[in-house]
Amino acid sequence: MSLATARAVIDEHLGKLFTACVLATERGGTRELIAAGTLCPDPNGGPDAECTARSLFDLASLTKLATTTLVLSFVRDRVLELDQPLRELVPDFRGGAKDTVTLAQVLTHTAGLNWWKPLWKEATSSEEAIWLAAQEPLAREPGTFVYSDLGYVMLTQGLANVGDAPFHDLVRERVLEPIEAECDFLPKETLRCVATEEDTAWRHKRLRGEVHDENAHAMGGIAGHAGLFGTAADVLALARVFRDGAVIGNELAQEARKEHARGENARRGLGLALRAPVGPMVGRWFGESAFGHLGFTGTSLWIDPALGLTVALLTNRVYFGRDNDPDMYRFRIAVHEAVSEPS
């Protein structure tokens, strides 16, 4: 493992691909961390607060890890079953092949749902956004893998119905508090937040402490697919669920890490991405058992049980624009290879 190499890679991309980055690794009970950059650059070149271990990032789709944990906590308690129809949780999602879609298919992105829908263009509330998602026709036969936010959008309501409490309260009480993670929706300490993007298309302002995802914003900042803000330590805490069985138990954690679906150069567990067969973004040294998740804003969590290595990498890669996927892909590979290379 070479943190010095990882630091050099981060420094090379700082100010070009992102303004802030925190890399946290955990191996053999030892944690190491690199923080670089600034939180909210002044366009006039004025002073700005430094990014630190306590800086809060918009975690984007890493929120799905918390939502998946909430689902599996109800499975653990025998309140839900993985083969249970989604329509039993979300009554508006029904009719035809929709009636056959299960919770497991939502978690594995094989529900047949469209990959995305701009719900924010019509929805003025969380309830409206969820209703619109439920009315959306299936785009393909259930069982086919296509990554989609829409199932997790609907789980916002579905899990609240199951738990008879607001979704964010359930996430806090059943997921975050047991693993001692301090991440949350709607962060109160805005000055700790990393600026995510200059939104020139819709909100016409710099986004800081306000969820980047448009559909999550239309849902009031609280959603099953996006909305959590947190530190690298919080992301490492989420890793404990799927690595160690925290909250859900070892049996369900092992089930989540198994391959349940496969698509074009993609393998999926329950709520987890598994190491891709070709050109994995975690590089050469992460093995077949590696699993994790990405967030659109430039966040990721990857775990390799064989290496005993957990890596949380947080950036604000959309700050300079969203069209940098190839650069971010290469950056992720370089960082993960640096921290996983055999010594």
226 near 63, Cβ under 8 Å? yes
Q: Between the CA of residue 264 and those of 165, 278, 296, 323, 330, what are the distances in Å?
A: 38, 10, 19, 22, 20
Token pair belonging to 204: 């016409």
Question: Alpha helix (H) ranges present in 14-115?
Answer: 63-76, 103-107
Q: Can you tell me the mean pLDDT for 145-167?
A: 98
**Residues 31, 78: Cα–Cα separation, whole Å:** 35
**Residues 172, 156: Cα–Cα separation, whole Å:** 13
DSSP 239: H
| Better-scored residue on pLDDT, 2 or 291 | 291
178 near 246, Cβ under 8 Å? yes
What domains are there in the chain, each with its CATH number? 3-41+50-59+180-340 (3.40.710.10), 66-176 (3.40.710.10)
Please say if the pLDDT value at position 44 is more than 80. Answer: no
- Percent of the chain exceeding pLDDT 70 equals 99
State the virtual CA torsion across 215, 109, 157, 65 in degrees, nearest 10: -80
**Residues 130, 8: Cα–Cα separation, whole Å:** 44
Q: Can you tell me the mean pLDDT for 17-42?
A: 96
Helix (H) or strand (E) holding 261: strand 261-263
Please say if the pLDDT value at position 47 is more than 80. Answer: no
41 near 19, Cβ under 8 Å? yes
Length of the chain: 343
| Better-scored residue on pLDDT, 278 or 254 | 254
> Residue 43: what pLDDT?
72
**Residues 193, 56: Cα–Cα separation, whole Å:** 4
Closest C-alpha to 231, from 279, 186, 182:
182
DSSP string for residues in 151-198:
HHHHHHHHHHHHHTS-HHHHHIIIIITTTT---BSS-S-GGGBPP-EE
The per-residue b/e assignment along 134-163, b for 16 or more CB within 10 angstroms, e otherwise, is bebebeeebeebbbbbbbbbbbbbbbbebb
Token pair belonging to 135: 């009315």
Token pair belonging to 153: 């959008």
Gyration radius of the chain over CA positions: 19
> Residue 46: what pLDDT?
66
Give residue for tokens 């993670």.
181
Please say if the pLDDT value at position 340 is more than 70. Answer: yes
Residues with Cβ within 8 Å of 188's Cβ and at least 6 positions away in sequence, in order, are none
> Residue 116: what pLDDT?
93
What's the mean pLDDT when you consider all of the chain? 96
Strand-pairing partners, residue 315, are: 21
- Percent of the chain exceeding pLDDT 90 equals 91
Strand-pairing partners, residue 165, are: none
Query: What confidence category does residue 279 fall into, taking pLDDT thresholds of 50, 70 and 90?
Result: confident
Structure confidence by residue, pLDDT tens digits, 73-116: 999 999 999 999 999 999 999 999 999 999 999 999 999 999 99
249 near 255, Cβ under 8 Å? no
| Better-scored residue on pLDDT, 246 or 45 | 246
> Residue 45: what pLDDT?
66
Please say if the pLDDT value at position 286 is more than 70. Answer: yes
24 near 238, Cβ under 8 Å? no
Please say if the pLDDT value at position 1 is more than 70. Answer: no
Query: What confidence category does residue 52 fall into, taking pLDDT thresholds of 50, 70 and 90?
Result: very high
**Residues 16, 327: Cα–Cα separation, whole Å:** 10
Residues with Cβ within 8 Å of 322's Cβ and at least 6 positions away in sequence, in order, are 197
**Residues 63, 283: Cα–Cα separation, whole Å:** 24
